[in-house]
Amino acid sequence: MSTTLRVTDDGYECRTDQSTTTVKWSLFGRIVTGTEFWLFFAGRQFMGFLPRRAFSSEQQAELDDLLASRQNAGIA
């Protein structure tokens, strides 16, 4: 099954042939950046992840910067 990820300043969208999920960054209270994934939490509850391999090295760096800026602003 093919999956398309689209990241914006407001959140991300994950789309397959059978479903579309849109999530806003404001849902997450904590984002953990790892070597293979970004992990998303709301309170203590794990809410989801994005695999780093789905993005080019340049896109990974951009997403690292975006997520860090949102966390530093207390918005993520």
CATH number reported for the structural domain that contains residue 22 in this entry: 2.30.29
Q: Which range of residues forms the domain containing residue 62?
A: 4-71
Q: Can you spell out the DSSP letters for 1-49? A: ---EEEE-SSEEEEE-SS-EEEEEGGG-SEEEE-SSEEEEEETTEEEEE
- Residue 56 located in a structural domain: yes
- As a whole number of angstroms, the distance between CA 39 and CA 47 comes to 8
- Residue 31 located in a structural domain: yes
Work out how many domains the chain is built from and give that number: 1
The string of pLDDT tens digits covering residues 40-70 is 999 999 999 999 999 999 999 999 999 998 8
Q: Residue range 33-42: average pLDDT?
A: 94
- Residue 76 located in a structural domain: no
Structure tokens at 15: 């789309």
- Residue 52 located in a structural domain: yes
